[in-house]
A = this chain, B = another copy of it.
Amino acid sequence: MAAAAALAWALSRMTPPQPTPAEIAPERLESFAPLPTGPTQPLDPTAAAQIRLGRMLFQDPRLSGHHDVACTSCHPLDTWGVDRRKLSRGSEGREPPRNTLSIYNIAGYFAFLWDGRQDSLVEQAKEVLLSRNAMASTPEGIEAALRSSEGYARAFALAFPEQRDAVTFHNVAQALAAFEATLFTRSRWDAFLEGEKTALSGEEKAGFNAFVDTGCVSCHFGPDIGATMYQKAGLVKPWPNTKDRGRYEITRRGVDWMVFRVPSLRNVAQTGPYFHDGSVSSLEEAVRMMARHQLGKELRDREVYLIVRWLGSLTGEIPRADIELDEASRAIVTNATGRAAP
């Protein structure tokens, strides 16, 4: 009887296997938001013309110094805006120093590029156009290449109707930014946030809860599940590769050593390899490393599995209608380059 009583006591003290919660408390969703659904009223003709022009320019290799790469080369629009290489190949095969980030869902970012050194889409576009390891062009080179095209002359005139000589480097960047700002990949996560409670599976909901409970949410929140702040890589356990010192390379302030912009997790299941150095190709491993290095936690296999399930729900639909060139646009890009648009 004593043993039985002891058994009852012992059983009462046992930690039961934690049931996986299959629902998400509404307050846990307060720091998240769905992506926009697109314009609610017709765009004014100038805005529409800028977007159309940007859509052409984004796919036109003449924006690169050697007419060998377009924005789409590193940011293919049909694979969630990334080329899935560890490091991309810029003009003449040069390597930019960091892994390529997607250009989808970036309209709300607080800053751009891995170190956040640009805070406007227009300036970010200019930097990439001119950067030796990316498009390696010059303002004059771009303007000369585009001015030789009648189709572009008309497209720029429609996009910037108040300017006499609209084919300018600044307007190229402006049109690219206008186009990029329209690119959203809405996913089941957005439907869920908008109230469709069956848009996520039980495992995905459990994965979101594990994501919050692990502490991932302290950096990854907001409509982009990231892209709202800077964070140090290797916060609790030092980052393996400290060759690239992040924002410190710009500011030379101790507080910025190994600090990077927190990336968005939109489409993360499709946009590996991961991290600024592209050092990890498995999403499971990336999740494990984040928990270990940023939060000092060793995740169990089941936790990794669930978190990865939820991350899969962030894979959005490629907005075909927004990225495809109409026939006239295609002709302009093709004529200008003498080859088919990529």
Q: What residues make up the interface of A, taking CB atoms closer than 8 Å to B? A: 3-4, 6-7, 10-11, 13-15, 27-28, 30-31, 33, 108-110, 212-213, 215, 217-219, 221-223, 227-232, 234-238, 253-256, 259, 294-297
Give A291 to B238 CA distance when docked, in angstroms: 24
Q: Hey, which chain B residues are within 8 Å of A221, CB to CB?
A: 232, 235
Q: Hey, which chain B residues are within 8 Å of A297, CB to CB?
A: 213
Give A294 to B109 CA distance when docked, in angstroms: 21
CB distance from A322 to the nearest CB of B (A): 22
**A7-B3, A7-B10, A27-B237 are contacts. A219–B222 as well, Cβ < 8 Å?**
no
A15, A33, A232: residue with the most chain B Cβ atoms closer than 10 Å: A232
Q: Hey, which chain B residues are within 8 Å of A231, CB to CB?
A: 218, 229
Q: Hey, which chain B residues are within 8 Å of A222, CB to CB?
A: 255
Give A217 to B294 CA distance when docked, in angstroms: 9
Q: Are B253 and A110 in contact (CB under 8 A)?
A: yes
Q: Are B14 and A10 in contact (CB under 8 A)?
A: yes
Give A236 to B236 CA distance when docked, in angstroms: 21
12 A-B contact pairs sorted by A residue (CB < 8 Å)? A3-B4, A3-B7, A10-B14, A28-B236, A30-B236, A109-B255, A212-B236, A213-B297, A215-B295, A227-B255, A229-B230, A229-B231
Q: Which of B31, B230, B237 is within 8 Å of A235, CB to CB?
A: B31
**A7-B3, A11-B10, A231-B229 are contacts. A33–B213 as well, Cβ < 8 Å?**
no
**A11-B10, A219-B218, A255-B110 are contacts. A31–B232 as well, Cβ < 8 Å?**
yes
CB distance from A225 to the nearest CB of B (A): 12
Give A4 to B227 CA distance when docked, in angstroms: 57
A230, A232, A255: residue with the most chain B Cβ atoms closer than 10 Å: A255
Q: Hey, which chain B residues are within 8 Å of A296, CB to CB?
A: 28, 212-213, 217
Nearest B residue to A293, CB-CB: B27
**A11-B10, A229-B230 are contacts. A30–B238 as well, Cβ < 8 Å?**
yes
CB distance from A238 to the nearest CB of B (A): 5
Q: Are B108 and A254 in contact (CB under 8 A)?
A: yes
**A3-B7, A7-B10, A28-B296 are contacts. A33–B254 as well, Cβ < 8 Å?**
yes
Q: Hey, which chain B residues are within 8 Å of A219, CB to CB?
A: 218
Q: Which of B7, B223, B236, B254 is within 8 Å of A6, CB to CB?
A: B7
CB distance from A232 to the nearest CB of B (A): 6
Q: Hey, which chain B residues are within 8 Å of A110, CB to CB?
A: 253, 255-256
Q: Are A218 and B4 in contact (CB under 8 A)?
A: no
> Given A28-B236, A31-B236, 4 more contacts at CB 8 Å?
A3-B7, A31-B232, A108-B255, A212-B236
Q: Are A234 and B13 in contact (CB under 8 A)?
A: no
Q: Are A218 and B235 in contact (CB under 8 A)?
A: yes
Q: Hey, which chain B residues are within 8 Å of A294, CB to CB?
A: 218
